[in-house]
């Protein structure tokens, strides 16, 4: 759906219509990209009870799930950074300042028609969202069962921790540890995704010269940062 609101004109009572306005909903074409994963087991080890193909299928599903989640996070981090470019409030940067974050939340809420946003990011990044010590805030913990958690809210805005993922190619975490997102999922989903049905195939042991059985899993997916809601991106925090 289109972003923003209509312009309200100031007028007198003797006018039938104001300046006519029209907004259009946009279309996003998103094609799934197919991925493949093949595993195999040795017939002799199966006959000896050393391994079984079904035992590894759960790991196949987990591998695909992790890959999909990683791609979704990557689309979020790259998309939101470019979407807020040029807006000094929605694209705050530098050392963490609670005032900057709250101003960002207020603007995101106002632009999204009053839908209250949430503050989210990786656990490492959210450790920066703490009250200023100069304001006199103190916290007491039970030494016997002490724990440190991310704040539940900041001045009325909920804080939600996102689970991270690892980029298999680089070994690095996908979510940045120095960036916080301010989003309004109740206004519109930040990401749009597409997914195809899974296709699998396997073979008999004697079809391969080394007497191994293959199992191949195919599935397509894709994600894009496409939303009618406004968002904020607080980067390079320390």
**What is the pLDDT at residue 143?**
67
Q: What is the mean pLDDT of the chain?
A: 89
| Residue 103 confidence class, pLDDT cut points 50, 70, 90 | very high
Q: What is the pLDDT of residue 109?
A: 95
pLDDT band of 132, cuts 50, 70, 90: low
Least confident window among 4-13, 83-92, 198-207 = 4-13
Nearest residue to 177 via CA among 235, 130, 105, 104: 235
Closest CA to 71 of 217, 197, 192, 228: 192
For 39, the token pair is: 């595993």
How much is the CA Rg of the chain, to the nearest whole Å? Answer: 25
- 3-state SS track over 43-90: HHHHHCCCCCHHHHHHHHHHHHHHHHHHHHHHHHHHHHHHHCCCCCCC
Highest mean pLDDT among 16-20, 83-87, 201-205: 201-205
Map out the domains of the chain as residue ranges. 36-132+149-234
Tell me if residue 119 falls in helix, strand or coil.
strand
Residue 2 pLDDT exceeds 90: no
Q: Which two tokens stand for residue 134?
A: 């100069």
For 167, other C-beta atoms within 10 Å of its C-beta total 13
Q: Helix, strand or coil for residue 233?
A: strand
SS (H, E, C) 17-50: CCCCCCCCCCCCCCCCEEEEEEEEEEHHHHHCCC
**Residue 47 confidence (pLDDT):** 92
Work out the pLDDT band at 135, boundaries 50, 70, 90.
Answer: low
Q: Is pLDDT of 188 > 70? A: yes
* Low-confidence winner among 89-93, 130-134, 170-174 (lowest mean pLDDT): 130-134
What's the pLDDT at 85? 87
Give pLDDT tens digits for 40-97. 999 999 999 998 888 888 999 999 999 999 999 999 999 999 999 889 999 999 999 9
pLDDT band at 35 (very low <50, low <70, confident <90, very high): very high
Q: What is the pLDDT of residue 11?
A: 86
Q: Provide the token pair at 101.
A: 């974050």
Q: 63 near 41, Cβ under 8 Å?
A: no
């Amino acid at each position: 759906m289109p972003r923003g609101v209509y312009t309200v004109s100031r007028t007198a009572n003797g006018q039938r219509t104001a300046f006519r306005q029209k907004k259009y909903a946009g279309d996003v074409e998103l094609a799934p990209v197919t991925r493949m994963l093949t595993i195999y087991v040795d017939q002799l080890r199966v006959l000896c009870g050393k391994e079984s193909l079904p035992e590894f299928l759960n790991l196949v599903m987990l591998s695909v799930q992790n890959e999909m989640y990683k791609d979704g996070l990557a689309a979020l981090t790259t998309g939101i950074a470019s979407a807020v470019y040029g807006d000094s409030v929605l694209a705050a940067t530098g050392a963490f300042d609670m005032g900057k974050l709250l101003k960002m939340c207020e603007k995101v809420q106002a632009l999204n028609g009053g839908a209250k946003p949430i503050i989210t990011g990786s656990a490492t990044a959210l450790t920066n969202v703490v009250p200023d010590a100069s304001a006199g805030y103190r916290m007491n913990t039970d030494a016997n069962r002490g724990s440190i958690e991310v704040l539940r809210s900041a001045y009325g805005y909920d804080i939600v921790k996102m689970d991270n993922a690892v980029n298999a190619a680089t070994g690095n975490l996908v979510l940045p540890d120095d960036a916080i997102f301010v989003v309004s999922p109740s206004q519109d989903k930040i990401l749009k995704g597409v997914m195809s049905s899974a296709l699998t195939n396997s073979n008999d042991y004697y079809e391969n010269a080394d007497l191994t059985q293959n199992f191949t899993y195919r599935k397509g997916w894709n994600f894009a940062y496409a939303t009618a809601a406004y968002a904020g991106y607080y980067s390079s925090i320390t």
